[in-house]
Amino acid sequence: MTSLYQVLAPTGELTQDIEGRLDESMMIKMYENMVMVRLFDRKSINLQRQGRMGTYAPFEGQEASQVGSALALTPGDWLFPTYRDHAAAIVHGQSMARVFLYWMGHMEGSISPQDLNVMPPCVPIATQMIHAVGTAWASKLQNEQHVSLAYFGDGATSEGDFHEALNFAGVFKTPTIFFCQNNGYAISVPFSQQSASKTIAQRAAAYDIPGVRIDGNDVFAVWLTMKEAMERALNGEGPTLIEAITYRYGAHTTADDPKKYRDQEKLAEEWRTERDPIQRLRTFLIQRGLWSDAQESQLVARANEQIDAALVEAESYPKSRPEDMFKHVYAEPTWMAQEQEGELVKPAKKEDIPA
């Protein structure tokens, strides 16, 4: 079994020397971003419960994986998120207002600034991995110094797209980084029932590319592993498969009840109290004299202010219309789509309205 790479233990102690590889300003930046996106995540869940936002996919518990990997990127690098990687998208430059818009059902929520290579969240499982290989290959052909980072969960490794993407990237040595956040469950199915492989990282051997298994709640291990993978990619050595072992405290989405398929309270409490990514970094920073209660209060206040401002911006948009779902699907609408849209928008008959 591939060993687990760890730099910062759950106790907040370093397990190895990283002198000269990671400076204190980056450590503080990591912490500030993780706190901010956790507050964003909790706000989003509250908004969904209040009926101000649609079904939402939470990520609390996975902040180190998303923040650490996204912070390693340069502005021109490509990011291919799933429906759960809004923390990574925000860190890479996507505005929180746009993320809110996405979950409110606005097409504008999938739009990024012109100079930002963040693709729309991908709901179909694993399809974004092939897209990431394509952009990486294009970057290579054009001699650009950019990598493409594809996020996915352990469930995606059961899809054919996963194998096709790794095979193509391995053959053509594309500068692609495959980042799996292994939460242990593909919705309700545990990883042990998905694959006979003991790890996801070991599957890289079939495509003759490096496979690395890391502590996904250790932001230092995530960032350092990403930097090494990017260096390899930009040196023409090809892709890397990273398996980050982490745990999402909440449900798969706000429409899911995880208590039906796992001991939710016990597992979430164990990970939250013993392996929480934010707590371990906070402990480390305090021990080093790099963080204080006063800084914490200021950070929380500043983050909440930014989140609230983003929400005001998002809620100022006109409400989405159901018929918008038919836009940008076909170059020329099919008769079936036109018929369905007509059924949706036609005025209701009096006899169809319940008394």
**Which amino acid appears at position 329 of this protein?**
V
Q: Could you tell me if 262 and 325 lie in one domain?
A: no
**What residues pair up with 149 in beta bridges, in sequence order?**
79, 177
Q: Could you tell me if 120 and 249 lie in one domain?
A: yes
Q: Which of 52, 131, 163, 261 is catalytic?
A: 261
CATH number at residue 207: 3.40.50.970
Q: Could you tell me if 59 and 163 lie in one domain?
A: yes
Q: What is the mean pLDDT of the chain?
A: 94
Q: Is the pLDDT of residue 348 over 80?
A: no
pLDDT at residue 352, as a whole number: 57
Q: Could you tell me if 330 and 232 lie in one domain?
A: no
Phi, psi of 292 (to 5 degrees): -145, 170
Kindly state the percentage of the chain with pLDDT values over 70: 97
Q: Could you tell me if 213 and 334 lie in one domain?
A: no
**pLDDT tier at 1, thresholds 50, 70, 90:** low
pLDDT digits (tens, 9 = 90+) for 3-14: 899 999 999 999
pLDDT at residue 268, as a whole number: 86
Count how many domains the chain has: 2
Please, how many CA atoms are within 13 Å of residue 280, restricted to the half-sphere of its CB?
27
Q: Could you tell me if 221 and 338 lie in one domain?
A: no
Least confident of 56-60, 145-149, 250-254, 345-349: 345-349
221-236: buried (b, 16+ CB within 10 Å) or exposed (e) per residue?
bbbbbbebbbebbbee
Q: Could you tell me if 271 and 249 lie in one domain?
A: yes
Q: What is the DSSP string of 62-76?
A: -HHHHHHHHHTS-TT
Sheet holding 211-215, edge to edge: 4-5, 211-215, 240-245, 176-182, 148-153, 78-80
Q: Is the pLDDT of residue 85 over 90?
A: yes
Dihedral sign computed on CA atoms, order 220, 68, 31, 114: positive
Q: Is the pLDDT of residue 324 over 90?
A: no
Has this prediction a pTM greater than 0.85? yes
Domain holding 352, by residue range, is 321-355
* Mean pLDDT score, 85-104: 97
The yes-or-no answer on residue 248 being catalytic is: yes
Q: Is the pLDDT of residue 355 over 60?
A: no
Q: Could you tell me if 350 and 256 lie in one domain?
A: no
Q: Which of 248, 275, 280, 282 is catalytic?
A: 248
pLDDT digits (tens, 9 = 90+) for 156-191: 999 999 999 999 999 999 999 999 999 999 989 999
Contact of 49 with 103, CB cutoff 8 Å: no
134: closest CA among 176, 98, 179, 197? Answer: 176
Q: Is the pLDDT of residue 245 over 80?
A: yes
Kindly state the percentage of the chain with pLDDT values over 90: 85
The yes-or-no answer on residue 261 being catalytic is: yes
Q: Could you tell me if 112 and 249 lie in one domain?
A: yes
Q: Which of 213, 252, 275, 282 is catalytic?
A: 252
Q: What is the DSSP string of 125-154?
A: TTHHHHHHHHHHHHHHHTT----EEEEEEG
Q: Could you tell me if 343 and 271 lie in one domain?
A: no
pLDDT at residue 354, as a whole number: 56
Contact of 202 with 224, CB cutoff 8 Å: no
pLDDT at residue 61, as a whole number: 97
Q: Is the pLDDT of residue 246 over 80?
A: yes
Q: Could you tell me if 222 and 295 lie in one domain?
A: yes
pLDDT at residue 345, as a whole number: 82
Q: Could you tell me if 295 and 165 lie in one domain?
A: yes
Q: In the structure encoding, which two tokens stand for residue 19, read together?
A: 């002198």
pLDDT at residue 297, as a whole number: 98
Q: Is the pLDDT of residue 349 over 70?
A: no
